[in-house]
Amino acid sequence: MKNDRYVVYVDDDPDDRSLFIEAFHSIQDYDLVTFVNGFELLLFLKQRKDDEMPSLIVLDINMPVMNGIESLTILKSNERYKHIPVVMFATSANPADIEYCKELDTEILIKPRKYGEIRSIFQNLLKEYEAH
């Protein structure tokens, strides 16, 4: 990574990952690290020092091995990770998922399909979390 600040994007769909990687490249001052499931994310975080945690984690909900909801539950119940902002991306708004994410103080967004929308969402999220 070239920057100290980075975002983690976790999604098993290679097309979605490629689209997000392309959209993210235009965002300055942040690197993007990607994984295909929550298990890989947790292994990565476990190896990081406390001052090397990501600025933001974006999780797809539906993934094999460990899905986004399972990953979110672990992240928010762990003292080491619960301060990291997390945003969930979903293809549809399941009311149970929305309620659960709300309980864990986590925003859930419908996954955008266009480059410009993705870039705009990332820029807005990073501005929002930098302000905190």
Tens digit of pLDDT for each residue in 12-55?
999 888 888 888 877 777 889 999 999 999 999 999 999 999 99
Tens digit of pLDDT for each residue in 70-110?
999 999 999 999 999 999 988 877 888 888 888 898 988 88
> How far apart, in whole angstroms, are the C-alpha atoms of residue 38 and residue 63?
8
* DSSP-assigned beta bridge partners for residue 89: 60, 109
Q: At what angle do helices 115-130 and 14-24 cross, to 10 degrees?
A: 60
Domain span at residue 10 reads 6-130
Mean pLDDT computed over every residue of the chain: 87
* DSSP-assigned beta bridge partners for residue 8: 33, 57
Looking at residue 17, which CATH number applies to its domain? 3.40.50.2300
Q: What is the pTM assigned to this prediction?
A: 0.89
- Domain-embedded: residue 1: no
Report the percent of the chain where pLDDT is more than 90. Answer: 45
- Domain-embedded: residue 82: yes
- Domain-embedded: residue 115: yes
